[in-house]
Chain A
């Protein structure tokens, strides 16, 4: 059984292709990239199939390979960029504060968190969050995804993306500001505002 499963590559793709594709797509959020990652994963699996001892399920083994491929994908993108290069600041960042650095009253954070557990249970919230993530500038999205979705440590994230710690802090800060604002604008419109 097992050996049959390991040689029939058509069946691999039939059985695990969609699962791996979804796994990759939700993380890199780009269909073409996700397809490529699935292909790379199967190719690596084929090459290394002797090392698959069957202690884990085939699916777990493949997902393990895919996770490495996903980090590699971010690493390759990081190599093409200068470690000191930042994206231009978004204009809205300057518009949030007055000249003394205090929140402008109309730009300050509104109270929309309410009951966090209740928000997390609403599927519209996740649609909004996904849209907001897609709206981040590319490098901020990479930094934020590695740190908060893949949950790499700060140091590891710097290494993978070839950036300095200061750069990491700046980009994470901007990503958080951007997401916070996007959630506030899109979510407040959809939810029943502040229930007090």
Chain B
């Protein structure tokens, strides 16, 4: 019987590699019986989903005007390019 501690690690590992069959089965059995671990897994999957959205939002062109090169940095980069 896996402990919740082991299960939380396996939930993460299963997103990175295929677990051995026995581990997969024990994991599934534990998740069926343990409400807390089920909730944990749900949150970890939600996190991955959220990160997908996050990346997509970074790639879209939404302007965020607060963040811009400072005038000094701009000047410095322009000068660096002239030296070449």
Interface residues, chain A, with chain B CB atoms under 8 Å away: 9-10, 12-14, 17-18, 21-23, 25-27, 35, 38-39, 42-43, 46-47, 96-97, 100-103, 108-113, 116, 119-120, 125-126, 129, 148-151, 154, 165, 168-169, 172-173, 176-177, 179-180, 183-184
Contacts and interface: CB of A to CB of B under 8 A. Distances in A.
A109 B84 contact: no
A160 to B, nearest CB: 15
B67 A25 contact: yes
Interface in B36-84: 36-37, 39-40, 42-44, 46-51, 53-55, 57-58, 64, 67-70, 73-74, 76-78, 80-82, 84
Contacts of B42: 113
A173 B8 contact: yes
A151 B49 CA distance: 12
Interface of B: 3-6, 8-9, 12-13, 15-17, 36-37, 39-40, 42-44, 46-51, 53-55, 57-58, 64, 67-70, 73-74, 76-78, 80-82, 84
Nearest to A184: B43
Contacts of A103: 4, 36-37, 40
Contacts, number: 132
Given A17-B74, A101-B6, A176-B12, A109 B53 contact: no
8 contacts: A10-B78, A13-B77, A27-B58, A35-B77, A46-B81, A109-B40, A113-B42, A179-B47
A7 B7 CA distance: 58
A149 B69 contact: no
Contacts of B44: 176, 180
Contact of A23 (B37, B39, B58): B58
Contact of A101 (B4, B53, B81): B4
- Provide the main secondary structure of the chain A interface: helix
Nearest to A110: B39
Interface core residue of B43, B46, B48 (most chain A CB under 10 Å): B43
A116 B46 contact: yes
Given A101-B3, A176-B44, 4 more contacts: A21-B73, A109-B36, A112-B43, A172-B16
A129 B52 CA distance: 13
